[in-house]
Chains A and B, each alone.
Chain A
């Protein structure tokens, strides 16, 4: 049962933090283009 808890936690973390990381990457790449 333990691994099910970890899978659930991992999926939720990926779902919630994914857009934040993607946004940061986008901003960094735009910043790079500008420079």
Chain B
């Protein structure tokens, strides 16, 4: 395996380069066999990457510490599950996973029946093979996951104890599936931009839309898992710190959300089509930029994995894509004969929504890069605290929430005076008054959530209770898509309720307790009983036994602990949480003395926080429903679908 992996990786590099050149040559010479060879070379490169991935997995599981990557991310005592997930614990493995996923998605999306002459698929493949070639070069010449160290250590360093959590095992691959899947709408856009006539219907739009949905769903899963892990594992009672790494996944999520809304009303040659094309390239660019940001160490982050060499290479790739897209857009702009009107009031609302998403992304981007730019003027550089992001994004979030209540109706009917339009105006006035006069953004948010909830109920009532019996039932796929979108919106609403409740009405208390002592936190009384020693496969721990009372009745017992990982010398706080829909009672053991049994506890009350996780699950479920609906429709329409709605 030690020889097969590097060989497969190098062969994969050669094949992506070959596929890129032969596809471009085939496009230039208009020769079918060249395009077929390019397609097969992409499939062969996927085969090589699969072999390389499998080889790395075998090395990780077998604990071949002669390989540096294995020694740096696993150890003999590491549980098997984390040996498997160690594949994406480091930069090299993550990049290999991203490359493998991206190549796989490209094969699925653009290697089968791409029109009669196959040129559209070839152009899309060339766009992604450019990225794949770059990733492969980095993997072979800079970040080789199979590099052998001069001396073989007796044991590996192991995985950071903080990362030994189920959510953290799944968070990176979910993000990478999202990032890799965004390569499909990007590649589709490059192929569309190459078309001679900008008003020509865009072929295979359904594939770009489906893959955008898949990418968005996985990115949502990845972000949600990251937030859940931070809440469960880091012991600070929060889930989002506006860290550059967190921001770098949120930015493409925001632009992708706008992208999906554009996909709904896409029509070639219109303003929305231009939005779709720009957002598709922008979203994939932001995925690459996020990786550049976190790997280059441009700004300091609690996620400590900067690697300047790798970062600068990502910047080079990003500039290449930017220049390529810029030239194609310019060429298209010079050729077009004016944008098709299609600017109904519904489309105008959609454009507002897009601008708002882009504005929020820009604000987050500026805040994230601020320490870097401030470094030119001040030493040390000025870092913006999370309060900046909260303050600057909160008004935007509220407008977004308001649009969530009003937009679906406005997009269908345009600007008509109905209860939703009046309700939106009244809610906006009430929310602004509460925010400004009472100084409570959380209540302003909850009031707006109430309006959005009513609007969503109104949608269901209009669809089911008010439908006339003689009206024909809409097709099953349309129904499924409608429900998918509503489930996503309900999920977003629940997430906003959770954010408003947990950040606006949270309580934090710190206490030093001896066994038998009590403390009152809100309506709960906590009794610290005892401190117990415990141990796991690769750690020892001390656990505080705490009983939770409500009045005279014991309702729960919690056991927060501190774990010591001897191998790395690290200690982690393992929190314990009493969860209810009304809110969480969150206990973190910050210090413990095993001889005197004196403990320091940090206690948080987080109202409505679980609504965030339920909301996130609903968002993903809704996206899955929509994916089922659109893929079913694609099949029924046929493989060579041309969308001109």
Contact = CB atoms under 8 A, between A and B. Distances in A.
Interface of A: 1-2, 4-5, 8-9, 11-12, 15-20, 22-24, 26
A1 B1 contact: yes
Interface residues of B, number: 23
A29 to B, nearest CB: 13
B37 A8 contact: no
A4 to B, nearest CB: 6
Contacts of A4: 4
Contacts of A5: 3-4, 7
B51 to A, nearest CB: 6
A22 B40 CA distance: 13
Contacts, number: 57
Nearest to B14: A12
B3 A23 contact: no
A12 B47 contact: yes
Nearest to A2: B3
Contacts of A26: 33
A16 B41 contact: yes
Given A16-B18, A16-B44, A9 B11 contact: yes
B47 A8 contact: yes
B11 A20 contact: no
A19 B36 CA distance: 6
A5 B11 CA distance: 10
A5 to B, nearest CB: 5
B8 interface: yes
B332 interface: no
Contacts of A18: 37, 40
Contacts of A9: 11
A1 B40 contact: no
A16 B17 CA distance: 12
Interface string B23-52: 000000001111011011101100110010
B36 A23 contact: yes
Contact of B4 (A1, A17, A19): A1
Contacts of B37: 16-20
B107 to A, nearest CB: 12
B368 to A, nearest CB: 41
A15 B43 contact: yes
Find the residue from A2, A5, A16, A23 having the highest chain B CB count within 10 A. Answer: A16
B51 A8 contact: yes
A24 B33 contact: yes
Contacts of B497: none
Nearest to B12: A12
B15 interface: yes
Most chain B CB atoms below 10 A, which of A11, A23, A26: A23
Contact of B41 (A15, A22, A23): A15
Nearest to B39: A19
Given A16-B41, A19-B40, A20-B37, A8 B32 contact: no
